[in-house]
C-alpha cells in the first residue's frame, strides 16, 4: 500500500497442468473402412514445484516492507511476512530457510508506494540474486489513488504483471513465484471507520479512493468504495489468470483477499497496513501455499 503524503502508488496460487488435445491415427490395414479416431485430450504432468526452496526474494509494496507495523510512517522490514527476522512474525523465509539461512539467503526489494508498473524494476533486482522463490504482493496502490478515474486499468495491470514475470525468468528461468492476492481494501475501511484516530491518519493521503470521507455513507461515497472493491477483484482475477499461464507460478487463490483482518491484525497507527500480528498471519498463509504438494 502506498506511503502517505506523496500520492504514490494482495484467488490460491495456481500451478497449471497443460491439457493437450492430441490427434491420433489408428494403424489399420490397407483398405480398412475404420474411420480415423481423434484421441481424447490427455492431462500432462505439471512441472514439479519445489516445496522447500533454498533462497527467497520479495517484491511488492509497503505491506512487504512492514510499513507502519513498528512505528508511524516508517518501514519495518524486520517484521515483513516474506523476509522478516522477528520471532513474533516467523516469516516465510525463516520458516523455509531457518533464521540463519534467511539472513544469508533472503532479500527484500519491495518499495513502499510501489504500483504494478514498478514491479519489473524490482524483478530485475531480484533476478540478479538467482533466487529459488520470489514472493509478490502488489496492487493495492493501483487502486489507492486520488480518484477512481486514476486507478490503474485492468489491462495495464495485467500487461505489467506479465512483463515483470518475463523480466524475472529471462535472468532466473527456474525461479518459482508465489503471488499473493490484493487485500480487500473495503474490509480494512470497515475495521477503522469508527476510530477517530484512524480517520485522522487516513487524512494523510492513505488510500483516498477508499478512505476519504470514511464516515460518509451517501450514494457517492458508497459508489466510490464499491468501484475500488470491484477493481481489486479484477486485479486478483488478472493475477490468477497470468499466474496460471506460467509453470513456475502459484497464486494464493484469494486467501489474502478473503482473510478477515481485524483490529488486532492492523497497524495501531493507521488501521490499514498489517500490524506485526497481521504480518504473521500473512506469513502463515504464504507458507501453507508454498509448501503445499498440490
Alpha helices in the chain (DSSP H): 92-105, 119-127, 140-143, 154-171, 185-192, 196-202, 208-211, 219-244, 255-258, 276-290
Does the pLDDT of residue 22 top 90, yes or no?
Answer: no
Distance CA 66, CA 69 (A): 6
When pLDDT is cut at 50, 70 and 90, the band that residue 10 belongs to is very low
Q: Is residue 8 part of a domain?
A: no
Specify if 37 maps to a domain: no
Residue 128 located in a structural domain: yes
pLDDT score recorded for residue 48:
85
Is 229 in contact with 184 (CB distance < 8 Å)? yes
Q: Is 107 helix (H, G, I), strand (E, B) or coil?
A: strand
d(CA 123, CA 134): 9
- Higher pLDDT, residue 247 or 122: 122
Tell me, yes or no, whether 282 lies in a domain. yes
Q: Break the chain down into helix, strand, coil percent, rounded to 5.
A: 40, 10, 50
The x, y and z cell numbers of residue 262, run together, are 481485524
Domain count, the chain: 1
The region of weakest confidence among 12-26, 118-132, 160-174, 225-239 is 12-26
Q: Tell me the pairing of strands 56-60 and 106-108.
A: parallel
Q: Determine which of 16-30, 110-124, 201-215, 233-247 has the lowest per-residue pLDDT on average.
A: 16-30
pLDDT at 292: 96
Alpha helices in 25-182 (DSSP H): 92-105, 119-127, 140-143, 154-171
- Average pLDDT score over the chain: 87
Assign 64 a pLDDT band (cuts: 50, 70, 90).
very high
pLDDT (tens digit per residue) in 148-179? 999 999 999 999 999 999 999 999 999 999 99
Cα(146)–Cα(87) distance, rounded to whole angstroms? 37
- Range from 10-24, 70-84, 215-229, 260-274 carrying the lowest mean pLDDT: 10-24
235-269: per-residue pLDDT in tens?
999 999 999 999 899 999 999 999 999 999 999 99
Which among 183, 165, 184, 163 is positioned nearest to 173, based on CA atoms?
Answer: 165
- What's the pTM? 0.84
Question: Residue 288 and residue 281: Cα distance in Å, rounded?
Answer: 11
The share of the chain scoring above pLDDT 70, in percent, equals: 84
Stronger pLDDT, 96 or 41, i.e. the higher one: 96
- Tell the residue number behind the cell numbers 525461479, with chain if given: 175
User: Is 24 part of any domain?
Assistant: no
Specify the pLDDT at position 41: 37
Q: Which domain holds residue 81?
A: 52-290
pLDDT class of 1 with cuts at 50, 70, 90:
low
Instruction: Kindly state whether residue 104 falls inside one of the protein's structural domains.
Output: yes
User: Considering the domain boundaries, does residue 148 fall inside one?
Assistant: yes
Bridge partners of residue 252, in order along the sequence = 12
Percent of the chain exceeding pLDDT 90 equals 79
Q: Domain holding 74: CATH number?
A: 3.40.50.1110
Question: Is residue 93, in this structure, part of any structural domain at all?
Answer: yes
- Closest Cα to residue 126, out of 158, 170, 78, 74? 170
The predicted structure's pLDDT at residue 47: 55
Amino acid at each position: 500500500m502506498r506511503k502517505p503524503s506523496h500520492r504514490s502508488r494482495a484467488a490460491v496460487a495456481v500451478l497449471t497442468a497443460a491439457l493437450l488435445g492430441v490427434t491420433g491415427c489408428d494403424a489399420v490395414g490397407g483398405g480398412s473402412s475404420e474411420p480415423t479416431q481423434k484421441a481424447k485430450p490427455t492431462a500432462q504432468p505439471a512441472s514439479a514445484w519445489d516445496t522447500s526452496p533454498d533462497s527467497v526474494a520479495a517484491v511488492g509494496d509497503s505491506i512487504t516492507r512492514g510499513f507502519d507495523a513498528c512505528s508511524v510512517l516508517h518501514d519495518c522490514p524486520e517484521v515483513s511476512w516474506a523476509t522478516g527476522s522477528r520471532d513474533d512474525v516467523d516469516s516465510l523465509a525463516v520458516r523455509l530457510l531457518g533464521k540463519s539461512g534467511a539472513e544469508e539467503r533472503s532479500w527484500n526489494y519491495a518499495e513502499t508506494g510501489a504500483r504494478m508498473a514498478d514491479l519489473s524494476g524490482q524483478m530485475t533486482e531480484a533476478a540478479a540474486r538467482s533466487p529459488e522463490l520470489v514472493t509478490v504482493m502488489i496492487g493495492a496502490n493501483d487502486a489507492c489513488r486520488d480518484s477512481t478515474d486514476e486507478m490503474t486499468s485492468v489491462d495495464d495491470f495485467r500487461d505489467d504483471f506479465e512483463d515483470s514475470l518475463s523480466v524475472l525468468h529471462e535472468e532466473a528461468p527456474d525461479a518459482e513465484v508465489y503471488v499473493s492476492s490484493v487485500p480487500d481494501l473495503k474490509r480494512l475501511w470497515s475495521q477503522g471507520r469508527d476510530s477517530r484516530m484512524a480517520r485522522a491518519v487516513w487524512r494523510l493521503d492513505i488510500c483516498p479512493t477508499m478512505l476519504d470521507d470514511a464516515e460518509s455513507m451517501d450514494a457517492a461515497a458508497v459508489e466510490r468504495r464499491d468501484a475500488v472493491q470491484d477493481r481489486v477483484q479484477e486485479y486478483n482475477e488478472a493475477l490468477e489468470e497470468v499466474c496460471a499461464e506460467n509453470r513456475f507460478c502459484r497464486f494464493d487463490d484469494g486467501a489474502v483477499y478473503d482473510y478477515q483482518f481485524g483490529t488486532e491484525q492492523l497497524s495501531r497507527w493507521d488501521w490499514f497496513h498489517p500490524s506485526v500480528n497481521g504480518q504473521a498471519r500473512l506469513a502463515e498463509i504464504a507458507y501453507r501455499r508454498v509448501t503445499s504438494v498440490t
